[in-house]
Structure formats: C-alpha cells, structure tokens
Amino acid sequence: MSNLKSRPFSFGRHTLDLNQTQVMGILNVTPDSFSDGGRHNEFDAALYHAESMIKAGATLIDVGGESTRPGAVAVSEQEELDRVIPVVDALVRELDGLVSVDTSSAVVIREAAKAGASLINDVRALEKEGALEAAAASGLPVCLMHMQGQPQTMQSAPCYVDLLREVTDYLQKRVDACLGAGIQRDQIILDPGYGFGKSVEHNCSLIKHLKDIHALGYPLLTGTSRKSMLGAITGKDIPAERVMASVASALICAQQGAWVLRVHDVEETIDALKVYQAVQGAE
C-alpha cells in the first residue's frame, strides 16, 4: 500500500491525501432513513446541515435520496432525482463542496455528475442496469460496497461459509468489472458494507480483519455510524444514543486502515481522530 499512499486521490478539481484519514458527513435527504430520516429532506435544512458538517471538518458530504435501511421501500428514479440533484447543485455552487452521491441509479449518476458531484457511492457496487456504464461515462471516482442480498431482505438471515473470502472475492470481481468498463484503478474505493447483509458477529469480524480487505490495494471507506450492530452491542435502541459507540467503531476502523469514515457525528469523530493522530505522532 506504500505506492498507493504516495499519491493523492483525485476528485476532479479536488484532491485528498491518502495518508490522512478523511471524514465523510452523511446527508440523507429522505423521510425514512434509520437515524435521521425526515430531518434534512427539506432543501434549506439539508444545506444548513451540510454547511455545519463542513465547518466541523468533513471533507466530503454524502448525499442520499433513497433509504437503504433494512426493509426500506424503493423510490422512483424521479423522486430520487428531485431529492438529490438540487442539493448537489447547491452544495457545489454555494459551498464548493466535495459531494458524494449515494445512489445505484444510472439516471441519478448521470445527473449528479452534471450537477458537479465528485464521487459515486453505490451500495450495490454498480450492479443495477446501466449503472456501471453511467459511472464510467461520468469520469468520476466510485465507491463499491459489498452487500449480501437487497435492502428489503438483507438482514433476515445473513449467512457466509467464509466471510472474509466471500467479501473480498465479491469486491475484487466488482473492481474487475469497473476496470473492464474503463474506470481507472486509481478511481476506485472499496467498502466492506457493515450492516448490509451481515450479523453483529460478521460486522465485528470484518472490522477486526479490515487490513485483509485493505490488502486488495484500494482505499477503504467504512460506515458503522449509529448502526443497529452498535445498538446490539451497547443496548442502545435509539440511533441518536449511539454516538459514542459510533466514534469508537470509526476510530477502530481508522486504526485498521480505513481512509474515509462515513459518519453522522462529524465533530465528535474528528475530535477522536485528532487525539489518536497526536498520540501516533508523539516521540
């Protein structure tokens, strides 16, 4: 990974240092996301929250217009466009933000690229019809996530024979598909997909063995923020009460090689990273 870390990662006019852990702020413009559904789906509220996360230190804002929580109801492409594109456009124009779009839709990928998005973050790893081609045509970097099943049913009975091998094999296959479609090797980020078709034990094992996924040779994004796995571990049923657990899991992911931490609680995560980095840099 030394060669990987010797260069910056390019998001068009923006570049980020691969040696520096980055924090991605979550901006769900949905009425039904598991933690913050309905809080930021109004345009002004979304912009205000994004600006506050950038001021707190987020280097990326991840805009999502379709909830992918377990049992979530699918939305139409037009509804997703109506939720996402005006927000992406405003974040780019007004805040010069580095904006990621959390989508699996080819149409949304194309329109988000036109609006100035800098990253396509897809929980389905560009498997939906037309998504791979749209992402390649956009010229944008992509984040490919592992998910067993689909959001509606993925948590019903997740099962693996060899968890780590199945996750890494799937991610490598999707990398190969991207390379075959013309997406460059240095435009790919990988995500193990915590909470997407995985039990609490599966999630903990994948965090513990994150360095083995890192060995594939691509930057890693992790997202454990406020998820039910943390509720099961701590006994906290309400997502907003899982802030400390979220920060702890994000910090462990950073220690295990994660480059981007996708979080709800930007300020708290960055404070924890500052302490960790200060200790790491001490004589």
Spell out the domain ranges in the chain.
Answer: 2-281
- State the catalytic residue, choosing from 69, 110, 124, 262: 262
The pLDDT tens digits of the residues spanning 149-208 come to: 676 665 667 789 999 999 999 999 999 999 999 999 999 999 999 999 999 999 999 999
Could you confirm whether 262 is annotated as catalytic?
yes
Mean per-residue pLDDT, 78-100? 93
- State the catalytic residue, choosing from 83, 110, 124, 227: 227
Tokens representing residue 258 in the block: 């994660």
- Residue 34 reports pLDDT greater than 60: no
Mean per-residue pLDDT, 220-241? 96
For 16, the 3-state DSSP assignment is strand
Q: What are the DSSP calls for 183-219, one per residue? A: --GGGEEEE--TTSS--HHHHHHHHHTHHHHHTTSS-
Residue 39 pLDDT: 53
Per-residue pLDDT band for 272 (boundaries 50, 70, 90) equals very high
Phi/psi of residue 29, nearest 5 degrees? -100, 60
* CA torsion through residues 179, 185, 187, 190, sign: positive
Strands (E), the chain: 8-11, 14-17, 22-28, 60-64, 99-102, 119-122, 142-145, 188-191, 221-222, 260-263
Mean per-residue pLDDT, 44-65? 94
Q: Which helix (H) or strand (E) holds 135?
A: helix 131-138
Mean pLDDT, the chain, integer: 91
The answer to whether 212 touches 164, Cβ cutoff 8 Å, is: yes
- Residue 97 reports pLDDT greater than 90: no
Mean per-residue pLDDT, 205-218? 96
DSSP summary character for residue 241: G
- Residue 273 reports pLDDT greater than 80: yes
Residue 1 pLDDT: 44
Residue 154 pLDDT: 58
Give 2-281's CATH code, choosing from 3.40.30.10, 3.30.470.10, 2.130.10.10, 3.20.20.20: 3.20.20.20
Residue 13 pLDDT: 83
Could you confirm whether 227 is annotated as catalytic?
yes
